[in-house]
Chain A
Amino acid sequence: MDSPLSNPRSHTSPSTCTGPGETALRTALGNDGYATLRRHCRLTDTALGPLAELLWTTAQEADRLHAELRYYARNTCDHLRHVPAHANQTEAVPLGFLQHTSRAIDVNATRYVQQMNQLNLAIEAYKLALLAA
């Protein structure tokens, strides 16, 4: 019943390391271009503004999905490797949790791949707009 994945949450990414979305932006635009993108996000009087904003949020969403995948990976490792001494039999093999998690990882991984494709399209559109500006 719960499917926040289809209803993106507007959270700040909890991860402090650079995600693949931001890395893709820096690789495609260079560090100067990346700084310019941040500036363009604040433009409201040209078409470049909304496009830059779209590119930025697309990259952020990719990083958020990536952070969630990392979270699932770590959490699942702990579930499989560490069983608390006082755990009873049902807790020792948390099948329900692992089934829920594996479904969530499937959805999340699919969304992540889509998001990275979308990000590449948004980067191309932004680059074209830069040439035309």
Chain B
Amino acid sequence: MTSIAEQAHAASTFIQQTAAASEYGPHRGLDHARTAVRLASTLGLSLQHITITPDSKRRTTPGEPLLAIATCSTTRTQYTFLARYPLYEDEPFELLGPCPVCAAPVPLAAVRHLADLGTHLATGPAPLSNGPTPATYPDTFDTDEGHAPTCRYGAA
């Protein structure tokens, strides 16, 4: 078992090396690396199971949203997390999954730690009616740019 100090050192080295070598440039690379470390810490995963790509669909102020894909080493299941404001590391990740109405990938749960993911996986997305969106959905669900144009949710 690696010591806490060794793991911490490895994370810090990963960020420096990834930023320096990133094909997206050193600054965007730094955001990508920090986001990978943050998701790995959030889920207790190894960094090698996480890939980061820019999200070309969503526009945020400030910043450039990132998609962090975590692949389960046991089942190969992939989980896609949106980091909407990479500059602000105190924001939760948003787990993306099929919209119950349009099936496009949209935020279904805010994930601050492993238990948030566990709760979502146990219960699944709450059914949607014509009333207000159930509180289990993140605030961003209603207006997310990921909804299909025909969906009753999505950017106005």
Contact = CB atoms under 8 A, between A and B. Distances in A.
Contacts of A108: 62
Contacts of B27: 74-75, 77-78
B25 A4 contact: no
Interface string B7-43: 0000000000000001111111101000000000000
Contacts of B88: 9, 11, 14
A85 B156 CA distance: 35
Interface in A77-96: 77-79, 81-82, 84-85, 91, 94, 96
Q: How large is the interface on A (under 10, 10 to 19, 20 to 34, 35 or more residues)?
A: 20 to 34
A9 B27 CA distance: 23
A97 B60 contact: no
Interface residues of B, number: 24
B61 A4 contact: yes
B61 A5 contact: yes
A78 B23 contact: no
Nearest to A68: B62
A82 B19 CA distance: 13
Contact of A11 (B60, B90, B143): B90
A95 to B, nearest CB: 12
Given A91-B56, A100-B59, A78 B26 contact: yes
A71 to B, nearest CB: 5
Given A75-B28, A77-B25, A14 B62 contact: no
B89 interface: yes
B24 A78 contact: yes
Contact of B64 (A2, A75, A81, A85): A75
A2 B31 CA distance: 21
Contacts of A85: 23
Given A77-B27, A82-B24, A82-B25, A3 B61 contact: yes
16 contacts: A1-B155, A4-B61, A9-B88, A11-B88, A11-B91, A68-B87, A72-B62, A75-B63, A75-B64, A78-B24, A78-B25, A78-B29, A81-B25, A82-B22, A96-B59, A97-B59
